Structure 1
Amino acid sequence: MEIGIATFITDEGIRPDVLAAAAEERGFSSLQIAEHSHIPVSRETPYPGGGELPHVYYRTLDPFVALTAAAGATSKLKLGTGVALLQQRDVIHTAKEVASLDLVSRGRFIFGVGVGWNREEMRNHGTDPRTRGALVDEQLAALKEIWAKDEAEFHGEYVDFNPIYAWPKPVQKPHPPIYIGGAGEKVLQRIAKFGDGWLPHAHTPPEDLRQARQWLADQGRSDLKFSAFGASPDEEQLRGLVSGGVDEATLFLPTEPEAATLERLDRYAKVAENFRKGQQA
Protein backbone atom coordinates (compact mmCIF):
# COMPACT_ATOMS: atom_id res chain seq x y z
CA MET A 1 0.00 0.00 0.00
CA GLU A 2 1.31 3.42 -0.97
CA ILE A 3 1.28 6.40 1.41
CA GLY A 4 0.32 9.90 0.27
CA ILE A 5 -0.66 13.22 1.82
CA ALA A 6 -4.13 14.81 2.10
CA THR A 7 -4.56 18.41 3.22
CA PHE A 8 -6.26 21.78 2.92
CA ILE A 9 -4.05 24.36 1.21
CA THR A 10 -4.84 27.90 2.35
CA ASP A 11 -3.36 31.38 2.24
CA GLU A 12 -2.23 30.92 5.86
CA GLY A 13 -0.26 27.69 5.46
CA ILE A 14 2.68 26.34 3.51
CA ARG A 15 2.78 27.16 -0.21
CA PRO A 16 1.58 24.36 -2.50
CA ASP A 17 4.83 24.24 -4.51
CA VAL A 18 6.96 23.99 -1.36
CA LEU A 19 4.68 21.34 0.13
CA ALA A 20 4.63 19.24 -3.04
CA ALA A 21 8.42 19.33 -3.43
CA ALA A 22 8.85 18.32 0.20
CA ALA A 23 6.32 15.48 -0.14
CA GLU A 24 8.05 14.14 -3.25
CA GLU A 25 11.48 14.39 -1.63
CA ARG A 26 10.23 12.29 1.30
CA GLY A 27 8.85 9.56 -0.94
CA PHE A 28 5.10 10.11 -0.63
CA SER A 29 2.99 8.82 -3.50
CA SER A 30 0.51 11.66 -3.95
CA LEU A 31 -0.74 15.02 -2.74
CA GLN A 32 -4.53 15.37 -2.57
CA ILE A 33 -6.15 18.67 -1.66
CA ALA A 34 -9.66 19.73 -0.69
CA GLU A 35 -11.92 22.30 -2.34
CA HIS A 36 -14.51 24.80 -1.12
CA SER A 37 -15.32 27.81 -3.28
CA HIS A 38 -16.63 29.72 -0.25
CA ILE A 39 -18.47 29.21 3.03
CA PRO A 40 -21.83 31.01 3.39
CA VAL A 41 -22.03 33.27 6.44
CA SER A 42 -25.52 31.99 7.22
CA ARG A 43 -25.04 28.24 7.25
CA GLU A 44 -27.57 25.74 8.53
CA THR A 45 -26.00 22.54 7.19
CA PRO A 46 -24.18 20.83 10.09
CA TYR A 47 -20.50 20.00 9.66
CA PRO A 48 -20.27 16.22 9.06
CA GLY A 49 -17.30 15.98 11.42
CA GLY A 50 -19.33 17.42 14.29
CA GLY A 51 -18.88 20.69 16.15
CA GLU A 52 -17.76 23.94 14.60
CA LEU A 53 -16.55 24.07 11.02
CA PRO A 54 -12.71 24.12 11.02
CA HIS A 55 -11.07 27.40 10.05
CA VAL A 56 -9.33 25.91 7.00
CA TYR A 57 -12.64 25.43 5.18
CA TYR A 58 -12.99 29.19 4.84
CA ARG A 59 -9.64 29.79 3.15
CA THR A 60 -8.88 27.05 0.63
CA LEU A 61 -6.99 27.97 -2.54
CA ASP A 62 -8.48 27.01 -5.86
CA PRO A 63 -7.30 23.40 -6.27
CA PHE A 64 -6.38 23.65 -9.94
CA VAL A 65 -4.23 26.74 -9.36
CA ALA A 66 -2.58 25.17 -6.30
CA LEU A 67 -1.91 21.86 -8.05
CA THR A 68 -0.47 23.63 -11.08
CA ALA A 69 2.06 25.26 -8.76
CA ALA A 70 2.71 21.84 -7.23
CA ALA A 71 3.19 20.30 -10.68
CA GLY A 72 5.90 22.81 -11.54
CA ALA A 73 7.86 21.92 -8.40
CA THR A 74 7.74 18.12 -8.84
CA SER A 75 8.29 15.39 -11.42
CA LYS A 76 6.90 12.15 -9.94
CA LEU A 77 4.31 13.03 -7.29
CA LYS A 78 0.69 12.27 -8.21
CA LEU A 79 -1.54 15.33 -7.80
CA GLY A 80 -5.19 15.02 -6.94
CA THR A 81 -8.36 16.81 -5.91
CA GLY A 82 -9.78 15.34 -2.76
CA VAL A 83 -12.40 16.25 -3.72
CA ALA A 84 -13.44 18.72 -6.40
CA LEU A 85 -17.07 19.74 -5.81
CA LEU A 86 -18.21 19.00 -9.32
CA GLN A 87 -21.86 19.90 -8.75
CA GLN A 88 -20.78 23.52 -8.12
CA ARG A 89 -18.68 23.77 -11.29
CA ASP A 90 -19.32 24.58 -14.93
CA VAL A 91 -18.70 21.33 -16.75
CA ILE A 92 -17.00 22.83 -19.84
CA HIS A 93 -14.61 24.97 -17.80
CA THR A 94 -13.87 21.95 -15.60
CA ALA A 95 -13.07 19.80 -18.63
CA LYS A 96 -10.49 22.37 -19.73
CA GLU A 97 -9.00 22.77 -16.23
CA VAL A 98 -8.60 19.01 -15.77
CA ALA A 99 -7.03 18.52 -19.20
CA SER A 100 -4.75 21.55 -18.76
CA LEU A 101 -3.50 20.33 -15.38
CA ASP A 102 -2.95 16.84 -16.75
CA LEU A 103 -0.92 18.39 -19.55
CA VAL A 104 1.29 20.66 -17.43
CA SER A 105 1.87 17.88 -14.89
CA ARG A 106 2.82 15.46 -17.69
CA GLY A 107 0.05 13.02 -16.87
CA ARG A 108 0.17 13.01 -13.06
CA PHE A 109 -3.31 14.28 -12.23
CA ILE A 110 -5.97 12.28 -10.35
CA PHE A 111 -9.47 13.76 -10.59
CA GLY A 112 -11.16 13.19 -7.25
CA VAL A 113 -14.81 14.29 -7.25
CA GLY A 114 -17.72 14.35 -4.82
CA VAL A 115 -21.25 15.68 -4.44
CA GLY A 116 -20.53 17.79 -1.36
CA TRP A 117 -22.35 18.32 1.93
CA ASN A 118 -22.76 22.12 2.39
CA ARG A 119 -26.20 22.79 0.98
CA GLU A 120 -26.00 26.57 1.30
CA GLU A 121 -22.70 26.58 -0.59
CA MET A 122 -24.09 24.62 -3.53
CA ARG A 123 -27.30 26.68 -3.64
CA ASN A 124 -25.16 29.80 -4.15
CA HIS A 125 -23.91 28.13 -7.33
CA GLY A 126 -27.46 27.51 -8.52
CA THR A 127 -27.39 23.82 -7.62
CA ASP A 128 -30.41 22.13 -6.05
CA PRO A 129 -29.04 19.89 -3.26
CA ARG A 130 -31.86 17.40 -3.86
CA THR A 131 -30.69 16.61 -7.40
CA ARG A 132 -26.93 17.06 -7.03
CA GLY A 133 -26.21 13.35 -7.43
CA ALA A 134 -28.05 13.15 -10.73
CA LEU A 135 -26.31 16.34 -11.85
CA VAL A 136 -22.86 14.94 -11.05
CA ASP A 137 -23.65 11.74 -12.95
CA GLU A 138 -24.49 13.77 -16.06
CA GLN A 139 -21.43 15.98 -15.57
CA LEU A 140 -19.13 12.95 -15.42
CA ALA A 141 -20.68 11.53 -18.58
CA ALA A 142 -20.35 14.90 -20.33
CA LEU A 143 -16.71 15.32 -19.25
CA LYS A 144 -15.83 11.99 -20.79
CA GLU A 145 -17.44 13.07 -24.06
CA ILE A 146 -15.49 16.34 -24.12
CA TRP A 147 -12.18 14.61 -23.40
CA ALA A 148 -12.73 11.82 -25.92
CA LYS A 149 -14.16 13.60 -28.96
CA ASP A 150 -13.07 16.45 -31.20
CA GLU A 151 -16.72 17.45 -31.64
CA ALA A 152 -18.41 16.66 -28.34
CA GLU A 153 -22.05 17.15 -27.49
CA PHE A 154 -24.28 16.15 -24.60
CA HIS A 155 -28.01 16.30 -24.05
CA GLY A 156 -29.27 15.50 -20.58
CA GLU A 157 -31.74 16.84 -18.07
CA TYR A 158 -29.15 18.96 -16.24
CA VAL A 159 -26.28 19.24 -18.74
CA ASP A 160 -27.02 20.18 -22.33
CA PHE A 161 -24.81 21.51 -25.10
CA ASN A 162 -24.58 21.17 -28.88
CA PRO A 163 -21.31 20.07 -30.56
CA ILE A 164 -18.25 21.93 -29.26
CA TYR A 165 -14.50 22.04 -29.85
CA ALA A 166 -12.54 21.88 -26.61
CA TRP A 167 -8.80 21.45 -26.27
CA PRO A 168 -6.41 20.47 -24.79
CA LYS A 169 -7.25 16.81 -24.39
CA PRO A 170 -5.81 14.98 -21.36
CA VAL A 171 -2.37 13.37 -21.56
CA GLN A 172 -3.65 10.26 -19.78
CA LYS A 173 -5.94 8.18 -21.96
CA PRO A 174 -8.83 8.09 -22.14
CA HIS A 175 -8.69 10.66 -19.32
CA PRO A 176 -7.12 11.16 -15.87
CA PRO A 177 -8.29 8.58 -13.33
CA ILE A 178 -11.61 9.60 -11.77
CA TYR A 179 -11.75 8.79 -8.05
CA ILE A 180 -15.16 9.27 -6.46
CA GLY A 181 -15.55 10.21 -2.81
CA GLY A 182 -18.38 9.45 -0.40
CA ALA A 183 -20.09 6.38 0.98
CA GLY A 184 -23.30 4.46 0.51
CA GLU A 185 -25.14 2.59 -2.20
CA LYS A 186 -25.52 5.53 -4.61
CA VAL A 187 -21.83 6.34 -4.39
CA LEU A 188 -20.86 2.75 -5.18
CA GLN A 189 -23.23 2.78 -8.13
CA ARG A 190 -21.60 6.02 -9.36
CA ILE A 191 -18.15 4.48 -8.99
CA ALA A 192 -19.17 1.34 -10.89
CA LYS A 193 -20.55 3.42 -13.78
CA PHE A 194 -18.12 6.33 -14.00
CA GLY A 195 -15.12 5.79 -11.73
CA ASP A 196 -11.61 4.48 -11.85
CA GLY A 197 -11.28 4.46 -8.08
CA TRP A 198 -12.90 5.17 -4.73
CA LEU A 199 -11.88 7.73 -2.12
CA PRO A 200 -13.33 6.24 1.07
CA HIS A 201 -12.70 7.95 4.39
CA ALA A 202 -9.74 6.35 6.13
CA HIS A 203 -11.92 5.52 9.16
CA THR A 204 -14.10 3.19 7.06
CA PRO A 205 -14.03 -0.25 8.72
CA PRO A 206 -11.99 -2.88 6.84
CA GLU A 207 -15.02 -5.14 6.55
CA ASP A 208 -16.98 -2.38 4.79
CA LEU A 209 -14.06 -1.85 2.41
CA ARG A 210 -13.94 -5.55 1.59
CA GLN A 211 -17.71 -5.69 1.04
CA ALA A 212 -17.53 -2.70 -1.29
CA ARG A 213 -14.66 -4.30 -3.20
CA GLN A 214 -16.68 -7.49 -3.63
CA TRP A 215 -19.82 -5.62 -4.72
CA LEU A 216 -17.86 -3.64 -7.31
CA ALA A 217 -16.19 -6.82 -8.56
CA ASP A 218 -19.65 -8.36 -8.96
CA GLN A 219 -20.51 -5.41 -11.21
CA GLY A 220 -17.48 -6.21 -13.37
CA ARG A 221 -15.29 -3.50 -11.77
CA SER A 222 -12.49 -5.46 -10.16
CA ASP A 223 -10.05 -3.00 -11.76
CA LEU A 224 -10.83 -0.12 -9.37
CA LYS A 225 -8.28 1.45 -7.03
CA PHE A 226 -9.06 2.40 -3.42
CA SER A 227 -7.33 5.47 -1.97
CA ALA A 228 -8.32 6.00 1.68
CA PHE A 229 -8.50 9.72 2.39
CA GLY A 230 -7.27 11.39 5.57
CA ALA A 231 -5.62 8.58 7.54
CA SER A 232 -3.91 9.08 10.87
CA PRO A 233 -0.15 8.49 11.10
CA ASP A 234 -0.94 5.33 13.02
CA GLU A 235 0.46 1.99 11.91
CA GLU A 236 -2.48 0.04 13.34
CA GLN A 237 -4.95 2.02 11.23
CA LEU A 238 -2.74 1.61 8.18
CA ARG A 239 -2.62 -2.16 8.70
CA GLY A 240 -6.41 -2.16 8.91
CA LEU A 241 -6.61 -0.38 5.58
CA VAL A 242 -4.30 -2.97 4.03
CA SER A 243 -6.60 -5.71 5.31
CA GLY A 244 -9.48 -3.84 3.69
CA GLY A 245 -7.79 -4.02 0.30
CA VAL A 246 -6.79 -0.36 0.05
CA ASP A 247 -4.15 0.51 -2.56
CA GLU A 248 -3.15 3.89 -1.09
CA ALA A 249 -3.72 5.77 2.16
CA THR A 250 -3.27 9.53 2.36
CA LEU A 251 -2.19 10.84 5.76
CA PHE A 252 -4.10 13.93 6.85
CA LEU A 253 -1.72 16.88 7.15
CA PRO A 254 -2.92 19.83 9.26
CA THR A 255 -2.57 23.22 7.59
CA GLU A 256 0.40 24.99 9.21
CA PRO A 257 3.20 27.39 8.26
CA GLU A 258 6.17 26.02 6.35
CA ALA A 259 8.53 25.18 9.23
CA ALA A 260 5.89 23.32 11.25
CA THR A 261 4.66 21.49 8.16
CA LEU A 262 8.12 20.28 7.19
CA GLU A 263 8.72 19.00 10.73
CA ARG A 264 5.43 17.11 10.62
CA LEU A 265 6.22 15.70 7.17
CA ASP A 266 9.49 14.35 8.55
CA ARG A 267 7.54 12.53 11.27
CA TYR A 268 5.05 11.21 8.74
CA ALA A 269 7.88 10.01 6.53
CA LYS A 270 9.27 7.94 9.40
CA VAL A 271 5.84 6.40 9.97
CA ALA A 272 5.60 5.57 6.26
CA GLU A 273 9.11 4.10 6.22
CA ASN A 274 8.45 1.91 9.26
CA PHE A 275 5.14 0.80 7.77
CA ARG A 276 6.78 -0.19 4.47
CA LYS A 277 9.44 -2.17 6.33
CA GLY A 278 6.71 -3.96 8.25
CA GLN A 279 4.94 -4.85 4.99
CA GLN A 280 8.14 -6.29 3.54
CA ALA A 281 8.99 -8.31 6.65
Structure 2
Amino acid sequence: MTKFGVASILTDESIGPAALATALEDRSFDALFVGDHSHVPVKRETPFPFGGDLPREYHRELDAFGALCAAAMVTSTLTLGTGVALPAQRDVFYTAKQVATLDRLCGGRFVFGVGVGWLMEVLRDHGVDAATRGARLDEHLRALEALWTRDVAEFHGEFVDFGPVYAWPKPQQARVPIHVGGESVAAVKRAAALGDVWMPNAAWSVSDVHAQFELRDRHAPGIPITAFAAMADNRPVLDEYVRLGADQVVLYLPTLPEAEALAALDELAEVARQYR
Protein backbone atom coordinates (compact mmCIF):
# COMPACT_ATOMS: atom_id res chain seq x y z
CA MET A 1 0.00 0.00 0.00
CA THR A 2 1.25 3.48 -0.83
CA LYS A 3 2.16 5.55 2.22
CA PHE A 4 1.37 9.24 2.52
CA GLY A 5 3.64 11.82 4.08
CA VAL A 6 3.78 15.60 4.18
CA ALA A 7 6.58 18.01 3.30
CA SER A 8 6.70 21.63 4.37
CA ILE A 9 9.19 24.47 4.63
CA LEU A 10 9.05 25.45 8.31
CA THR A 11 10.06 28.95 9.35
CA ASP A 12 9.93 31.32 12.31
CA GLU A 13 6.58 32.50 10.90
CA SER A 14 4.95 29.11 10.25
CA ILE A 15 3.39 26.38 12.33
CA GLY A 16 6.07 24.92 14.58
CA PRO A 17 7.56 21.48 14.01
CA ALA A 18 6.16 20.00 17.23
CA ALA A 19 2.61 21.16 16.51
CA LEU A 20 2.82 19.98 12.91
CA ALA A 21 4.26 16.58 13.81
CA THR A 22 1.57 15.99 16.44
CA ALA A 23 -1.13 16.94 13.96
CA LEU A 24 0.32 14.62 11.31
CA GLU A 25 0.43 11.66 13.67
CA ASP A 26 -3.12 12.38 14.86
CA ARG A 27 -4.26 12.31 11.22
CA SER A 28 -2.50 9.00 10.47
CA PHE A 29 0.12 10.39 8.12
CA ASP A 30 3.23 8.27 7.73
CA ALA A 31 6.00 10.85 7.51
CA LEU A 32 7.15 14.45 7.85
CA PHE A 33 9.88 15.85 5.60
CA VAL A 34 11.47 19.28 6.07
CA GLY A 35 13.95 21.14 3.90
CA ASP A 36 17.56 22.14 4.48
CA HIS A 37 18.87 25.49 3.19
CA SER A 38 21.66 27.18 5.11
CA HIS A 39 21.05 30.65 3.63
CA VAL A 40 19.95 32.52 0.49
CA PRO A 41 22.32 35.02 -1.16
CA VAL A 42 20.83 38.47 -1.75
CA LYS A 43 22.17 38.51 -5.30
CA ARG A 44 21.07 35.40 -7.16
CA GLU A 45 21.16 34.44 -10.81
CA THR A 46 20.15 30.79 -10.45
CA PRO A 47 16.46 30.49 -11.48
CA PHE A 48 13.98 28.93 -9.08
CA PRO A 49 13.30 25.42 -10.47
CA PHE A 50 9.53 25.82 -10.17
CA GLY A 51 9.39 29.23 -11.85
CA GLY A 52 8.90 32.77 -10.57
CA ASP A 53 10.64 34.41 -7.63
CA LEU A 54 12.15 32.44 -4.78
CA PRO A 55 9.38 32.23 -2.16
CA ARG A 56 9.81 34.14 1.09
CA GLU A 57 9.93 30.97 3.20
CA TYR A 58 13.26 29.93 1.67
CA HIS A 59 14.84 32.98 3.33
CA ARG A 60 13.61 32.01 6.80
CA GLU A 61 13.84 28.20 6.92
CA LEU A 62 14.45 26.49 10.25
CA ASP A 63 17.41 24.15 10.61
CA ALA A 64 16.20 20.74 9.52
CA PHE A 65 17.80 18.73 12.30
CA GLY A 66 16.67 21.08 15.05
CA ALA A 67 13.12 21.06 13.69
CA LEU A 68 13.03 17.29 13.44
CA CYS A 69 14.37 16.90 16.98
CA ALA A 70 11.40 18.95 18.18
CA ALA A 71 9.11 16.70 16.14
CA ALA A 72 10.77 13.59 17.56
CA MET A 73 9.96 14.59 21.14
CA VAL A 74 6.19 14.66 20.59
CA THR A 75 5.66 11.65 18.28
CA SER A 76 6.09 7.89 18.47
CA THR A 77 5.21 6.49 15.03
CA LEU A 78 5.83 9.29 12.51
CA THR A 79 8.81 8.83 10.19
CA LEU A 80 10.99 11.97 10.17
CA GLY A 81 13.07 12.92 7.17
CA THR A 82 15.09 15.60 5.46
CA GLY A 83 13.67 16.66 2.14
CA VAL A 84 16.40 17.15 1.19
CA ALA A 85 19.68 17.66 3.05
CA LEU A 86 22.78 18.67 1.10
CA PRO A 87 25.71 16.68 2.50
CA ALA A 88 28.23 18.02 -0.03
CA GLN A 89 27.78 21.46 1.56
CA ARG A 90 28.10 20.14 5.11
CA ASP A 91 30.90 19.02 7.37
CA VAL A 92 30.88 15.23 7.25
CA PHE A 93 31.59 14.74 10.97
CA TYR A 94 28.84 17.07 12.17
CA THR A 95 26.42 15.55 9.68
CA ALA A 96 27.20 12.05 10.95
CA LYS A 97 26.66 13.16 14.54
CA GLN A 98 23.45 15.08 13.81
CA VAL A 99 21.90 12.18 11.91
CA ALA A 100 22.90 9.61 14.52
CA THR A 101 21.70 11.77 17.42
CA LEU A 102 18.35 12.45 15.76
CA ASP A 103 17.91 8.78 14.87
CA ARG A 104 18.41 7.85 18.52
CA LEU A 105 16.14 10.58 19.82
CA CYS A 106 13.29 9.46 17.54
CA GLY A 107 13.81 5.74 18.21
CA GLY A 108 15.09 4.83 14.76
CA ARG A 109 12.41 6.66 12.74
CA PHE A 110 14.71 8.90 10.71
CA VAL A 111 15.23 8.77 6.94
CA PHE A 112 18.03 10.78 5.35
CA GLY A 113 16.80 12.49 2.21
CA VAL A 114 19.75 13.88 0.26
CA GLY A 115 20.42 15.81 -2.92
CA VAL A 116 23.17 17.66 -4.77
CA GLY A 117 21.70 21.16 -4.41
CA TRP A 118 20.46 23.53 -7.10
CA LEU A 119 21.32 27.04 -5.90
CA MET A 120 24.70 27.74 -7.47
CA GLU A 121 25.45 30.79 -5.33
CA VAL A 122 25.00 28.75 -2.15
CA LEU A 123 27.31 26.05 -3.46
CA ARG A 124 29.96 28.70 -4.09
CA ASP A 125 29.47 30.19 -0.61
CA HIS A 126 30.22 26.74 0.82
CA GLY A 127 33.32 26.43 -1.34
CA VAL A 128 31.80 23.75 -3.56
CA ASP A 129 32.41 23.72 -7.31
CA ALA A 130 29.04 22.91 -8.86
CA ALA A 131 30.74 20.61 -11.35
CA THR A 132 31.88 18.37 -8.48
CA ARG A 133 28.70 18.35 -6.39
CA GLY A 134 27.62 14.86 -7.50
CA ALA A 135 31.02 13.31 -6.85
CA ARG A 136 31.19 15.10 -3.49
CA LEU A 137 27.78 13.78 -2.48
CA ASP A 138 28.81 10.23 -3.38
CA GLU A 139 31.95 10.50 -1.25
CA HIS A 140 30.06 12.02 1.67
CA LEU A 141 27.53 9.18 1.63
CA ARG A 142 30.30 6.59 1.64
CA ALA A 143 32.15 8.43 4.41
CA LEU A 144 28.98 8.76 6.48
CA GLU A 145 28.38 5.03 6.18
CA ALA A 146 31.87 4.42 7.54
CA LEU A 147 31.33 6.82 10.46
CA TRP A 148 27.97 5.26 11.32
CA THR A 149 29.01 1.61 11.15
CA ARG A 150 32.65 1.32 12.26
CA ASP A 151 34.08 1.66 15.76
CA VAL A 152 37.24 3.06 14.19
CA ALA A 153 36.42 4.77 10.91
CA GLU A 154 38.54 6.19 8.14
CA PHE A 155 37.93 7.33 4.61
CA HIS A 156 40.25 8.45 1.84
CA GLY A 157 38.76 10.13 -1.19
CA GLU A 158 39.27 13.13 -3.42
CA PHE A 159 36.98 15.43 -1.42
CA VAL A 160 36.71 13.66 1.95
CA ASP A 161 39.84 12.37 3.64
CA PHE A 162 40.18 11.40 7.30
CA GLY A 163 41.10 8.75 9.75
CA PRO A 164 41.34 6.69 11.76
CA VAL A 165 38.76 8.37 14.04
CA TYR A 166 36.22 7.64 16.75
CA ALA A 167 32.78 9.05 15.93
CA TRP A 168 29.82 8.48 18.20
CA PRO A 169 26.91 8.08 18.70
CA LYS A 170 26.01 5.53 16.10
CA PRO A 171 22.45 5.57 14.70
CA GLN A 172 19.89 3.35 16.40
CA GLN A 173 19.05 1.75 13.04
CA ALA A 174 21.47 -0.77 11.61
CA ARG A 175 21.25 1.30 8.43
CA VAL A 176 19.79 4.79 8.15
CA PRO A 177 17.59 4.72 5.03
CA ILE A 178 18.94 7.01 2.31
CA HIS A 179 16.35 8.70 0.06
CA VAL A 180 18.12 10.13 -2.98
CA GLY A 181 16.46 13.18 -4.52
CA GLY A 182 16.70 14.35 -8.12
CA GLU A 183 15.16 13.47 -11.47
CA SER A 184 18.34 12.80 -13.47
CA VAL A 185 19.84 9.50 -14.58
CA ALA A 186 22.70 10.24 -12.18
CA ALA A 187 20.26 10.52 -9.27
CA VAL A 188 18.59 7.20 -10.09
CA LYS A 189 21.96 5.47 -10.38
CA ARG A 190 23.07 7.08 -7.10
CA ALA A 191 19.95 5.74 -5.42
CA ALA A 192 20.74 2.24 -6.69
CA ALA A 193 24.41 2.36 -5.69
CA LEU A 194 24.32 4.26 -2.41
CA GLY A 195 20.70 4.63 -1.34
CA ASP A 196 17.53 2.77 -0.51
CA VAL A 197 14.79 4.87 -2.13
CA TRP A 198 14.66 7.17 -5.14
CA MET A 199 12.84 10.41 -4.28
CA PRO A 200 12.20 12.49 -7.41
CA ASN A 201 10.14 15.65 -7.35
CA ALA A 202 6.53 14.69 -7.94
CA ALA A 203 5.46 14.62 -11.58
CA TRP A 204 3.08 17.19 -13.05
CA SER A 205 1.37 14.85 -15.51
CA VAL A 206 0.49 11.19 -15.84
CA SER A 207 2.99 10.83 -18.70
CA ASP A 208 5.69 12.20 -16.38
CA VAL A 209 4.78 9.57 -13.78
CA HIS A 210 5.24 6.88 -16.42
CA ALA A 211 8.59 8.41 -17.42
CA GLN A 212 9.81 8.24 -13.82
CA PHE A 213 8.91 4.58 -13.46
CA GLU A 214 10.53 3.81 -16.81
CA LEU A 215 13.70 5.60 -15.73
CA ARG A 216 13.69 3.66 -12.47
CA ASP A 217 13.15 0.33 -14.23
CA ARG A 218 15.98 1.06 -16.66
CA HIS A 219 18.63 2.16 -14.16
CA ALA A 220 17.56 0.93 -10.71
CA PRO A 221 15.10 -1.96 -11.10
CA GLY A 222 12.99 -2.53 -8.02
CA ILE A 223 14.14 0.43 -5.96
CA PRO A 224 11.18 2.06 -4.18
CA ILE A 225 9.93 5.45 -5.40
CA THR A 226 8.83 8.23 -3.08
CA ALA A 227 7.18 11.06 -5.03
CA PHE A 228 8.21 14.22 -3.22
CA ALA A 229 6.00 17.23 -2.49
CA ALA A 230 3.06 16.31 -4.71
CA MET A 231 0.17 18.72 -5.12
CA ALA A 232 -2.93 17.24 -3.52
CA ASP A 233 -5.26 18.67 -6.16
CA ASN A 234 -3.46 16.88 -9.01
CA ARG A 235 -5.55 13.76 -8.62
CA PRO A 236 -4.66 12.09 -11.95
CA VAL A 237 -1.01 12.11 -10.91
CA LEU A 238 -1.77 10.81 -7.41
CA ASP A 239 -4.00 8.10 -8.90
CA GLU A 240 -1.20 6.95 -11.18
CA TYR A 241 1.45 6.88 -8.47
CA VAL A 242 -0.81 4.70 -6.34
CA ARG A 243 -1.80 2.49 -9.28
CA LEU A 244 1.84 1.88 -10.23
CA GLY A 245 2.81 1.09 -6.65
CA ALA A 246 4.86 4.06 -5.47
CA ASP A 247 6.20 3.34 -2.01
CA GLN A 248 5.17 6.77 -0.77
CA VAL A 249 3.61 10.01 -1.95
CA VAL A 250 4.66 13.08 0.01
CA LEU A 251 2.06 15.85 -0.19
CA TYR A 252 3.05 19.51 -0.10
CA LEU A 253 1.84 21.65 2.80
CA PRO A 254 2.35 25.39 2.17
CA THR A 255 4.20 27.46 4.75
CA LEU A 256 1.37 28.82 6.91
CA PRO A 257 0.66 29.99 10.47
CA GLU A 258 -0.64 27.28 12.78
CA ALA A 259 -4.41 27.73 12.41
CA GLU A 260 -4.24 27.96 8.63
CA ALA A 261 -1.76 25.08 8.42
CA LEU A 262 -4.02 22.79 10.44
CA ALA A 263 -6.99 23.61 8.23
CA ALA A 264 -4.92 22.86 5.12
CA LEU A 265 -3.69 19.67 6.75
CA ASP A 266 -7.27 18.50 7.27
CA GLU A 267 -7.78 18.77 3.52
CA LEU A 268 -4.60 16.78 2.83
CA ALA A 269 -5.68 14.13 5.34
CA GLU A 270 -8.98 13.69 3.50
CA VAL A 271 -7.09 13.15 0.24
CA ALA A 272 -4.84 10.54 1.86
CA ARG A 273 -7.83 8.86 3.51
CA GLN A 274 -9.49 8.31 0.16
CA TYR A 275 -6.48 6.37 -1.10
CA ARG A 276 -6.25 4.28 2.05
Match of 1:203 in 2: 203
How far, CA to CA, are the matches of 1:236 and 1:119 in structure 2? 34
Check whether the contact 2:231–2:251 (CA below 8 A) recurs between aligned residues: yes
Secondary structure, counterpart of 2:225 in structure 1 = strand
Q: Once structures 1 and 2 are overlaid, which stretch shifts more, 98-107 or 263-272?
A: 263-272
Match of 1:75 in 2: 76
**Structure 1 residue 237 displacement after superposition:** 2.1
How far, CA to CA, are the matches of 1:252 and 1:38 in structure 2? 21
Count of paired positions: 271
How far, CA to CA, are the matches of 1:185 and 1:217 in structure 2? 10
- Give CA-to-partner distance per residue, 1:96-138, whole Å, 9 cap, x none: 1000000000000000000010011111111111111100010
The one-letter code sitting in structure 1 at the alignment partner of 2:243 is S
How far, CA to CA, are the matches of 1:271 and 1:166 in structure 2? 43
RMSD (Å), alpha carbons: 1.1
**Structure 1 residue 236 displacement after superposition:** 2.4
**Structure 1 residue 213 displacement after superposition:** 3.0
Match of 1:122 in 2: 123
How far, CA to CA, are the matches of 1:91 and 1:170 in structure 2? 15
**Aligned positions of 1:117-266 closer than 5 A:** 117-173=118-174, 175-203=175-203, 205-218=208-221, 222=222, 224-234=223-233, 235-266=235-266
**Structure 1 residue 44 displacement after superposition:** 1.1
Match of 1:96 in 2: 97
Long gaps (5+) in structure 2: none
TM-score scaled by structure 2? 0.95
Secondary structure, counterpart of 2:154 in structure 1 = strand
Check whether the contact 1:202–1:241 (CA below 8 A) recurs between aligned residues: no
Long gaps (5+) in structure 1: 277-281
How far, CA to CA, are the matches of 1:152 and 1:5 in structure 2? 35
Percentage of identical aligned residues: 51
How far, CA to CA, are the matches of 1:150 and 1:215 in structure 2? 37
**Structure 1 residue 246 displacement after superposition:** 1.0
Q: Once structures 1 and 2 are overlaid, which stretch shifts more, 194-203 or 229-238?
A: 229-238
Check whether the contact 1:199–1:226 (CA below 8 A) recurs between aligned residues: yes
TM-score scaled by structure 1? 0.94
**Structure 1 residue 275 displacement after superposition:** 2.1
**Structure 1 residue 7 displacement after superposition:** 0.7
How far, CA to CA, are the matches of 2:267 and 2:49 in structure 1? 28
Match of 1:17 in 2: 18
How far, CA to CA, are the matches of 1:203 and 1:168 in structure 2? 38
How far, CA to CA, are the matches of 2:237 and 2:220 in structure 1? 24
